[in-house]
Amino acid sequence: DGGITQSPKYLFRKEGQNVTLSCEQNLNHDAMYWYRQDPGQGLRLIYYSQIVNDFQKGDIAEGYSVSREKKESFPLTVTSAQKNPTAFYLCASSLQGSMNTEAFFGQGTRLTVV
Amino acid sequence: AQSVTQLDSQVPVFEEAPVELRCNYSSSVSVYLFWYVQYPNQGLQLLLKYLSGSTLVKGINGFEAEFNKSQTSFHLRKPSVHISDTAEYFCAVSDRGSSNTGKLIFGQGTTLQVKP
């Protein structure tokens, strides 16, 4: 089955540590996205990538980093510079250059700072 | 910049009653419009989308939405809800601009609480 896989489902981080969230898709989509979800705030865009080896900052990129070395993979690193990293993180992908801009989402990773 | 406003943060409703979840967006330029549903601790699932054509869009699970360009609205409706419809619902817009990044701008979400 085609889809998006995020891992792990739950992640705990100590203060001052970097952590990396995994996102893999087998939909052959060019574009991939990372969103952060906080209660009452909807989803906010962290980073997005429209093509391999290229990515752009979203609305809340500070304290995060990404890479896009393969079409299928778009890992997100939450660095120690992110002051409030506890949140639910969602990865998504979509076709590019098409009228159909529907995004497909993974099941999310819940990150908690302990 | 685009923005999306979901006018109700919570909507309680009894089972088998009709429901409307309201969504307004800010831009007057051509947009794509979406409604997604999220069950607890899960990702988002597409309910329906408006790209062009008929302003009444039908989606999964008996939901439908109407695009109103003059009012910049895209309200979601269901004539009779079930307990299983209890979830959070997100309205989203994508700019049809030339960059075509596919970025979505989301509303804050509306929690639909269906009571027996």
pLDDT digits (tens, 9 = 90+) for A32-49: 999 999 988 889 999 999
CA B5 to chain centroid: 10
Interface contact B106-A43, CB threshold 8 A? yes
pLDDT per residue as tens digits for the range B80-90: 999 999 999 99
Separation of alpha carbons A62 and B99, rounded Å: 23
Mean pLDDT of B87-97: 86
User: Is the pLDDT score of A107 beyond 90?
Assistant: yes
For A66-84, write each residue's pLDDT tens digit. Answer: 999 999 999 999 998 888 9
What's the confidence (pLDDT) of residue B100?
61
Say what the pLDDT of residue B87 is.
96
Note whether B102 contacts A: Cβ–Cβ < 8 A: yes
Give the rounded percent of residues in chain A with a pLDDT score beyond 70: 95
Rounded distance between C-alpha atoms, residue A33 and residue B103, angstroms: 8
Contact status of B101 with chain A (Cβ, < 8 Å): yes
Q: Tell me the mean pLDDT in the region A47-54.
A: 93
User: How far lies A98's CA from each of A27, A93, B71, in Å?
Assistant: 15, 13, 27
pLDDT of B96 over the 90 cut: no
Q: Which amino acid does the sequence have at A23?
A: C
pLDDT of residue B99: 52
Segment A98-107 mean pLDDT: 78
Whether the CB-CB separation of B27 and B95 falls below 8 Å is answered with yes
Q: At B2, is the pLDDT very low, low, confident or very high (cuts 50, 70, 90)?
A: confident
Q: Residue A42's pLDDT is what? A: 87
Confidence (pLDDT) at B98: 45
Question: What pLDDT is stored for residue B97 in this prediction?
Answer: 62
User: How does the average pLDDT of chain A come out, rounded?
Assistant: 91
The answer to whether residue B30 neighbours chain A at the CB level (below 8 Å) is no
Angstrom distance (rounded) from CA B114 to CA A69:
44
Asked if residue A99 has pLDDT above 60, the reply is no
Contacts of B43 in chain A (CB under 8 A): 4, 6, 90, 105-108
Interface of A with B in 25-64 (CB under 8 A): 31, 33, 35, 40-45, 48, 50, 56, 58
What Cα–Cα distance (Å) separates residue A20 from each residue in A4, A75, A77, B61, B102? 16, 7, 4, 35, 24
Between chains, do B104 and A105 touch, taking CB under 8 Å as contact? no
Spell out the residues 6+ positions from residue A98 whose beta carbon is closer than 8 angstroms to its own: none
From B44, B35, B41, B9, select the one nearest A87 (Cα to Cα): B41
